């Protein structure tokens, strides 16, 4: 039961974007560090990341009738 609630909570966080920064940090540590040797984009702060994520999310048609 507790496990199910945890999955539900994790789903809700992912659906709303609540955990977007955590996922980004995870992505950064697993991809970016290995991928680039010469020129690396530094890890964004939570505020900076959220700004960029929100602005990107609202380019183009996102809602329908």
Could you list the residues that contact another protein (CB under 8 A)? 11-18, 20-21, 23-24, 27-28, 31, 46-47, 49-65
Query: CB of 49: closest distance to another protein in angstroms?
Result: 7
Q: Which residues, other chains included, contact 50 with Cβ-Cβ below 8 Å and sequence gap of 6+?
A: 20, 21
Query: CB of 14: closest distance to another protein in angstroms?
Result: 5
For residues 44 and 35, is the Cβ–Cβ distance under 8 A?
no
Using the minimum distance from each CB to another protein, give the nearer residue, 6 or 57: 57
For residues 17 and 53, is the Cβ–Cβ distance under 8 A?
yes
């Amino acid at each position: 039961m507790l496990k199910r609630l945890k999955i539900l909570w994790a789903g809700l966080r992912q659906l709303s974007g609540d955990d977007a920064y955590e996922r980004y940090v995870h992505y950064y540590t697993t991809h970016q560090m290995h991928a680039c040797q010469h020129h690396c984009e530094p890890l964004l702060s939570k505020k900076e990341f959220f700004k960029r994520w929100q602005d990107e999310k609202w380019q183009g048609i996102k809602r329908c009738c």
